[in-house]
């Protein structure tokens, strides 16, 4: 009987630890996405990211040194109102820099740290697909910084939370028509996002 109680107690402890580790492993996003052709102009994000009812729909994935991410209010099929958005970037070229902040809480703006990405899309009622090739000049659309925190300096998000990856994208000089060809052109997309627990 005593052995049975010990085994049951250990099982409860193991399940508790497992659920805690699963909770800690949730993907989290903090930051902002803005778009000149979008009805909402910009969206602030701070919450869990996933595909099973989390606050935001999407994911962030690091494959080798490169990164893809999707952040959205809902999945693409259901992101249909002017309050909804769906935004993804594919193929951010790594490796990520080490260290996000140049001084205080201002992210680095150093051309030597700039990199690029393969493609992106933003949906807000209308939908646009874009890449640096669509910018004029092409250099106006770039990843300003893709970085991991300098843990030695204890870098945190602006709301003082830990993070694993930071991405800042400035993509201007665009003249991209929406998918319905309504004449609403996308001119720029900007984002600053901090991610934790990417796949």
pLDDT at 14: 44
Kindly report, residue by residue over 48-69, the tens digit of the pLDDT. 999 999 999 999 999 999 999 9
Kindly report, residue by residue over 73-95, the tens digit of the pLDDT. 999 898 888 899 999 999 999 99
Is it the case that residue 160 has pLDDT exceeding 90?
A: yes
Mean pLDDT of the chain, nearest integer: 88
pLDDT at 23: 53
**What separation in angstroms does the CA of 49 have from each of 4, 8, 40, 88, 156?**
40, 34, 20, 13, 18
DSSP readout, 168-180?
Answer: EEEE-SB-EE-TT
Which helix (H) or strand (E) covers residue 30, if one does? Answer: strand 28-35
% pLDDT > 90, the chain: 71
Give the integer Cα–Cα distance in Å for 5 and 190.
Answer: 57
pLDDT at 40: 66
Is it the case that residue 7 has pLDDT exceeding 90?
A: no
Better-predicted residue by pLDDT, 142 or 126: 142
pLDDT at 24: 56
pLDDT at 111: 96
**What separation in angstroms does the CA of 131 have from each of 40, 140, 142, 160?**
22, 11, 9, 32
Is it the case that residue 137 has pLDDT exceeding 90?
A: yes
Q: How many helices (H) and strands (E) does the chain have?
A: 1, 15
Is it the case that residue 6 has pLDDT exceeding 90?
A: no
Is it the case that residue 12 has pLDDT exceeding 90?
A: no
pLDDT at 181: 66
């Amino acid at each position: 009987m005593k052995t049975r109680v010990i085994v049951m107690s250990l099982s409860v402890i193991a399940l508790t630890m497992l659920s805690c580790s699963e909770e800690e492993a949730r993907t989290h996003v903090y930051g902002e996405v803005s778009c000149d052709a979008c009805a909402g102009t910009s969206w602030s994000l701070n919450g869990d990211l996933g595909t099973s009812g989390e606050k935001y729909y999407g994911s962030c994935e690091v494959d080798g040194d490169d990164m893809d991410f999707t952040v959205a209010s809902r999945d693409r099929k259901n992101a249909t109102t002017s309050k909804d958005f769906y935004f993804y970037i594919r193929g951010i070229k790594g490796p990520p820099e080490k260290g996000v902040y140049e001084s205080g809480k201002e992210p680095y703006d150093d051309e030597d740290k700039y990199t690029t990405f393969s493609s992106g899309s933003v949906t807000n009622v209308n939908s646009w697909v874009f890449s640096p090739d669509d910018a004029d000049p092409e250099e106006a659309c770039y990843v300003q910084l893709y970085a991991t925190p300098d843990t030695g300096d204890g870098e945190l998000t602006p709301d003082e939370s830990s993070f694993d990856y930071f991405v800042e994208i400035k993509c201007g000089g665009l003249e991209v028509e929406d998918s319905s060809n309504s004449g609403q052109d996308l001119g720029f997309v900007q984002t600053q996002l901090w991610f934790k627990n990417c796949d």
